[in-house]
Amino acid sequence: MASSPTSATTLDVAVVGVGLGGLYALHRLRGMGMTARGYEAGSGIGGTWFWNRYPGARCDIESLEYSYSFSEDLQNEWHWPERYATQPVILEYINHVADRFDLRRDIQLNTRIAEARFDAADRCWTLRTKAGEEIRARHVIMATGNLSTPRVPDFQGIEDFQGKWYHTGLWPAEGVDFTGQTVGVVGTGSTAIQMIPRIAAQAKHLYVFQRTANFSLPARNAPMDAATEADHRARYAERLVDARQTAFGVSGVPIPVQSALAVPEAERRANYEAMWARGGTIPLLNCYNDFLVDERANETAAEFVREKIRGIVKDPRTAALLTPNDHPIGSKRLCLDTGYYETYNRGNVTLVDVRSDPIERVTPRGLRLTGGTEYAVDSLAFATGFDAMTGALREIDIRGAEGQALAEAWEGGPLTYLGLMVAGFPNLFMVTGPGSPGVKSQMIHSIEQHVDWIADCLAHLRAKGLATIAPTEQAQADWVDHVNKVADRTLYPRANSWYVGANVPGKPRVFMPYVGGVAAYRRKCDEVAAKGYAGFVLA
């Protein structure tokens, strides 16, 4: 690893976090001849894919889509072994990219950034690591991720639990062997739904503590089909253009033009059956154009999936509990599974409803519910999610031009312009920040678009001999208003999801992602740049 720059060095750019976003930022900035360095809290690069090592972790977007597009050579050299890549394979890919583009010499591992302060006189950021090292940089790119602050609910008694407990987002690198154990999994989000079939196959008994039933679709994972891979490579450039026109940044799925209510029921059903058989979430979400805006249209797909659940799960009481009925399908992240509902037909799996009887506390032996029932377990796995989108940024003491704290500026929810910058915080950029479509898209697609926009912006500042850029309060207020209006036209805000911070008690209920789609968002970002960075003050 390269030695740390001396305290006298002022970097052009400090990149905080070296997951997929930070890594690409380092590559782009190096290509522009900028001095940039990545600071990563983990002992390895990869971000989400470094930490989330729970059993069954894999990407729910197809591998051929979920990969960098900045280098066609990279795309052509790399072979994804399965339709959906596992966590170890994605981590291997990320490490391959770091080596392939010689990025490691600009990366400092085991380094958590604790503070970032902007000196207005000097027009420079000073970052301080948890270990006390100081770093000076003209610009900072926060590539800290959206789901990187794991959250265990504040259950009393956890310190007295005599078994072992884990959070999926901090899973031990050496893995966990649950053979012969009674295990409790808390949560039934995307993570739990991937993990539960795997633990059930190993444990003596598995209790799943469910508060909210979720919609999940079959992945239909399979070894990579050689013809599909060859076709993807042959039409790679075309596919990239394609992906940019869509809502989610994924190619190969036609943009829907028809309402679900405009077709006869038999045809609609046949269409849903075809998408169920095809596997994946994107094909079903793209069947019709009004799933996420019209309750009745949404209900046609929701009921289709509910029927599937009732058809798979043999015990009617368990099936009823697993059937979601409190939110429109797709308004929470739609889950993707391999044998999730089937797992409840096993004799060693019990679904516990903690909606009607909530978890009261952790006891030395296990979990006790408010009604008094205690479940004794050897191990507890919390698949309870993250302080999403704002958690990682709020954990760093970030101070803007007038010494104001970002955490205070965001007390009522995140305020950004385009999800890229915050008024009062010059030269501080975010990758896939709140107010951008990041989490509502194929993440690598959005990461690349954001990093490219930031890199072009830095090139513009350099070419014009300018030192700072920050959004105006007005442009930020208008964007936040737009993000909210777009969300309010959809069914998304109906769900108690992490998109609105509902999983963190006390977090302000604000719809954080931009759901106007990646195509509209890219147009807006390009237009802002073309107009000389409209809505920003450059100095």
Q: Are 194 and 59 in contact (CB under 8 A)?
A: no
Helix H or strand E segment including 79: none
How far is the C-alpha of 491 from the C-alpha of 508, rounded, in Å? 19
Q: Contact residues for ligand N01 (CB under 6 A)?
A: 59-60, 147, 153, 168, 186-192, 194, 209, 211-212, 333, 354, 359, 383-385, 498, 503
Smaller CB separation from ligand N01, 106 or 387? 387
Q: How far is the CB of 222 from ligand N01 (least distance, A)?
A: 16
How far is the C-alpha of 383 from the C-alpha of 56, rounded, in Å? 12
Q: How far is the CB of 146 from ligand N01 (least distance, A)?
A: 8
Smaller CB separation from ligand N01, 385 or 391? 385
Report the candidate in 384, 479, 502, 494 with the shortest Cα–Cα distance to residue 433: 479
Using alpha carbons, list the distances in angstroms from residue 12 to 32, 69, 205.
11, 25, 54
Smaller CB separation from ligand N01, 17 or 189? 189
Q: How far is the CB of 145 from ligand N01 (least distance, A)?
A: 11
How far is the C-alpha of 380 from the C-alpha of 129, rounded, in Å? 32
The structure tokens 């078994």 sit at 163
Looking at this protein, which amino acid is placed at residue 517? G
The partner residues of 359 in beta bridges, in order of sequence, read: 369
CA dihedral 105, 106, 110, 113 (to 10 degrees): 170
Q: How far is the CB of 462 from ligand N01 (least distance, A)?
A: 35
Smaller CB separation from ligand N01, 42 or 153? 153
Q: How far is the CB of 195 from ligand N01 (least distance, A)?
A: 9
CA dihedral 208, 61, 421, 393 (to 10 degrees): 30
Q: How far is the CB of 194 from ligand N01 (least distance, A)?
A: 6
Q: For the chain, what's the residue count?
A: 539
The gap from C-alpha 115 to its chain's centroid, in whole angstroms, comes to 24
Report the candidate in 40, 181, 15 with the shortest Cα–Cα distance to residue 108: 40
Smaller CB separation from ligand N01, 300 or 503? 503
Using alpha carbons, list the distances in angstroms from residue 208 to 309, 318, 353.
17, 11, 8
Q: How far is the CB of 355 from ligand N01 (least distance, A)?
A: 7
Q: How far is the CB of 46 from ligand N01 (least distance, A)?
A: 13
DSSP letter string over 413-428? S---BTTTB-TT-TTE
Smaller CB separation from ligand N01, 107 or 352? 352
Q: Are 370 and 360 in contact (CB under 8 A)?
A: yes
Smaller CB separation from ligand N01, 354 or 415? 354
Q: How far is the CB of 127 from ligand N01 (least distance, A)?
A: 27
The structure tokens 């990461």 sit at 447
Smaller CB separation from ligand N01, 54 or 425? 54
Q: Is 399 helix (H, G, I), strand (E, B) or coil?
A: strand
DSSP 62: -
Smaller CB separation from ligand N01, 195 or 525? 195
How far is the C-alpha of 325 from the C-alpha of 243, rounded, in Å? 32
Q: How far is the CB of 502 from ligand N01 (least distance, A)?
A: 6
Q: Are 10 and 136 in contact (CB under 8 A)?
A: yes
Smaller CB separation from ligand N01, 157 or 180? 157
